[in-house]
Amino acid sequence: MFEVREKPDQVERALLVGFYFKSDEEAEARALLLELEELVDTLGIGVVGMELIRVRAQHKAFICGTGKSDEVVELAREKNCDCLIVDNGLSPSQQRNWEGKAGITVIDREEVILDIFAKRASTKEAQLQVQLARMEYALPRMAKMWGHLDREGGGGGGGGGGASRGMGEQQIEIDRRLARNKITQIKKDLEIVRRQRATRRKDRDRYDVASSAIVGYTNAGKSTLLNKLSGSEVYEADQLFATLDPTTRRIELPGGQPLLLTDTVGFVRNLPHRLVEAFKSTLEEAVLADFLIHVLDASDPAVEVFYRTTLGVLEELGAGDKPALTVLNKVDRLGVGAELTRLRESFPDAIEISARTGFGMEELIKAAEGQLADRVRRRIYRVPQSRGDMVNLLHNEGKVINTDFEGNDVIVTAVVSPTLDGRLKEFLEEKAG
């Protein structure tokens, strides 16, 4: 059966190269290259050098000109690299050209991210999504995987050359067909898993509990915040893409109303589009939430860029105009003074917190309650004991604060949603807040 080759598993020493074209693109390209270094590090590959190269015009074969590509290959040789990682997207033919010239593995940013995602995915859905994205990435690149069959055959001499060439090509055709079948199968499996998720979500909607999605750039501290707010143990780590599957926790706000908080996959610049596509359903939590908590790493100098990147992806997902609380996290790492002043100017409405120390949690929770002000209300109902079904409904879908008995009636004080309130209209005794 066709499997995607795990190239980065086989390499240890990488040279990173980023190409840019105009002088005003240099700073951005440099920041991206540093980010690539972190991504590569996350994969466990050693980075032995980084080169930022200005190119006057896109060259078709290598992005840069032949002379420059020779220099890069020479440098990779000097540094004894077994892998060249290009920060720009490489077309299948460019990747082949580079590998042909360098004689070592050559990958691009997209493949690095795909590999991290493949390693991290833990739920069935995330695994299928990553598998799909990798297959689609690999399909047009399969020719080169079997190129060696042809080359070996050709080099072997004699009359066998022609037959061997045919063998390589046949093998590619077989693999392509297998890959396409597999892609169809994965899509079917995904459809099933998604339907199950939709059913679960519908169950949740039936209970009409408010929900919020924690979004933000990778490593901003989303999982740490969820843990802090819910007292749970979601995996958090100083790694890029520590979280790949949405985790939902139910918390209770001080007023008694429940809130579902979902941690989501982190965003990153130049996220391969096919991964945005693949993860759309995972990020649906963000689209469907009542409001978003947009977490920013205040200690990162590029925080404004990260903010815009996340907004861009949210827009693409159709969640661009969701109400959102902007949160400046990791303020414990900031000194007082200029830095904070600048951040406050850039994000005048942001809530300053430290998910690590717990600083600012009260303010954040108050703001979350503010977001839900018109969603929940406190009510006192008088329900005849014969209507136990209504009392059960209050317990299941609302938050019961107190129960008293008066004659044949049950007096229930509860925090309820407008929908639930509507269903209990005839039993309303008093509006209590």
Contacts to Mg ion by CB under 5 A: 222-223, 242-243
Distance in Å, CB of 226 to ligand GTP, minimum: 8
Distance in Å, CB of 412 to ligand GTP, minimum: 39
**How many whole angstroms separate alpha carbon 257 and alpha carbon 379?**
12
Picked from ligand GTP, Mg ion, none, the partner binding residue 259 (CB below 5 to 8 A depending on kind) is none
CB nearest ligand GTP: which residue? Answer: 266
C-beta of 42 vs 211, nearer to ligand GTP: 42
Instruction: Write out the binding residues.
Output: 216-223, 241-245, 263-266, 329-332, 354-356
Q: Is the dihedral of CA 67, 147, 179, 106 positive or negative?
A: negative
C-beta of 7 vs 356, nearer to ligand GTP: 356
C-beta of 115 vs 397, nearer to ligand GTP: 115
Picked from Mg ion, ligand GTP, none, the partner binding residue 18 (CB below 5 to 8 A depending on kind) is none
From the centroid of its chain, how far is CA 366? 27
CB nearest Mg ion: which residue? Answer: 243
| Inter-residue contact 114 to 133 (CB < 8 Å) | yes
Q: Which residues 6+ apart lie within 8 Å of 161 measured at CB?
A: 153, 154
Distance in Å, CB of 246 to Mg ion, minimum: 10
C-beta of 167 vs 311, nearer to ligand GTP: 311
Instruction: Write out the binding residues for GTP.
Output: 216-223, 241-245, 263-266, 329-332, 354-356
Tokens 């459809």 belong to which residue? 191
| Inter-residue contact 191 to 325 (CB < 8 Å) | no
**How many whole angstroms separate alpha carbon 176 and alpha carbon 355?**
47
Tokens 């990488």 belong to which residue? 14
Strands 258-263 and 247-252: antiparallel
Q: Return the structure tokens found at 60.
A: 């078709």
Q: Which of 213, 224, 220 is nearest to 303 (CA)?
A: 220
Amino acid at 89: G
- Per CB under 6 A, residues contacting ligand GTP are 216, 218-224, 236-238, 240-243, 266, 329-330, 332-333, 354-356
Tokens 């169809």 belong to which residue? 184
C-beta of 82 vs 236, nearer to ligand GTP: 236
Instruction: Write out the binding residues for Mg(2+).
Output: 223, 243
Picked from Mg ion, ligand GTP, none, the partner binding residue 240 (CB below 5 to 8 A depending on kind) is ligand GTP
Distance in Å, CB of 247 to ligand GTP, minimum: 10
Q: Which residues 6+ apart lie within 8 Å of 233 measured at CB?
A: 227
* 3-class SS string, 165-186: HHHHHHHHHHHHHHHHHHHHHH
Q: What are phi and psi of 92, to 5 degrees?
A: -55, -40
Count of positions (residues) in the chain: 433
Distance in Å, CB of 356 to ligand GTP, minimum: 3
Distance in Å, CB of 380 to Mg ion, minimum: 41
Picked from Mg ion, ligand GTP, none, the partner binding residue 219 (CB below 5 to 8 A depending on kind) is ligand GTP
Tokens 């009392």 belong to which residue? 391
Picked from ligand GTP, Mg ion, none, the partner binding residue 68 (CB below 5 to 8 A depending on kind) is none
C-beta of 222 vs 322, nearer to Mg ion: 222
Picked from ligand GTP, Mg ion, none, the partner binding residue 174 (CB below 5 to 8 A depending on kind) is none
Distance in Å, CB of 214 to Mg ion, minimum: 9
Picked from ligand GTP, Mg ion, none, the partner binding residue 352 (CB below 5 to 8 A depending on kind) is none
| Sheet of strand 46-54: strand arrangement | 46-54, 13-20, 83-86, 105-108
How many C-beta atoms surround the C-beta of residue 231 within 10 A?
9
C-beta of 237 vs 428, nearer to ligand GTP: 237
